[in-house]
Amino acid sequence: MATLLLSVLALTTYVAVGGVNVNCPPHLVKNDNLREYGSSCYEFVLSHFESWYKADADCKSRRGHLVSLNSFPEQTFILNTMQILGYHDDHGVWIGLTDHDGEGNWHWADNTKPVFTNWAPGQPGMLSSNEDCAMLEFKDGTWHDYPCEGFFFFSQKHGWICEYGQMSGQWVNPK
């Protein structure tokens, strides 16, 4: 009975956080920070903190982009995975949403328009043209806009999540 219970628990965890990463692009390091969900692979860069621009450049350098959250289930997968990976040292992670090309013209780093949003009340917010990049807050799963690099003497450096297409014969960009 205990073996059956452990098997069910392992399968539930596998389904809840996405599968193993065997279908992720071969150039990516296969470790616990690389997870599959839906038709994408997600790389959780949680122990290195940078500005939104450096995070975006890092994802692009590996043929991906900062994560685009297109549904509540996808966001739930991201939050659950962050919790499973033990991420709690910062208040959130950079996501690919930005309006740095034009105030109020929000788009994902892969140049698609948002079809799903989860802004916190009052967001996008307070400093208008100085807050051009979005962060997924860990405490409640809402989105907040922040300065992409910082404001005056305060820097904005956080972890981030890169998104890649899964292998299906040949690697493709997910969006």
HSE at residue 9, side-chain half, CA atoms within 13 A, is 6
Asked if residue 22 is part of any domain, the answer here is no
How confident is the model over 24-60, as pLDDT tens digits?
A: 999 999 999 999 999 999 999 998 899 999 999 999 9
Decide if 56 is inside a domain. Answer: yes
| Contact between 28 and 41 (Cβ < 8 Å) | yes
11 lies in some domain: no
In a domain, 137, yes or no: yes
Domain membership of residue 15 (yes or no) is no
pLDDT at residue 28 in the model: 93
Closest CA to 147 of 136, 135, 138: 135
- The Cα 92–Cα 170 span in angstroms is 33
What is the C-alpha to C-alpha distance for residues 118 and 159, in angstroms, rounded to an integer? 19
Query: Measured between alpha carbons, how far is 29 from 46 in angstroms, rounded to an integer?
Result: 15
Number of separate domains in the chain: 1
Higher pLDDT, 101 or 28: 28
> Is 34 inside a domain boundary?
yes
Q: Is residue 157 within 8 Å of 49, Cβ to Cβ?
A: yes
Which two tokens mark 173? 């960009």
111: domain CATH number is 3.10.100.10
50: left (phi over 0), alpha (psi -120 to 50) or beta: beta
Identify whether 146 is part of a domain.
yes
Give a yes or no: residue 109 inside a domain: yes
pLDDT value of residue 166: 78
Please write the tens of the pLDDT for every residue from 6-18: 333 333 344 444 5
**Where in the sequence is the domain holding 129, given as residue range(s)?**
29-165
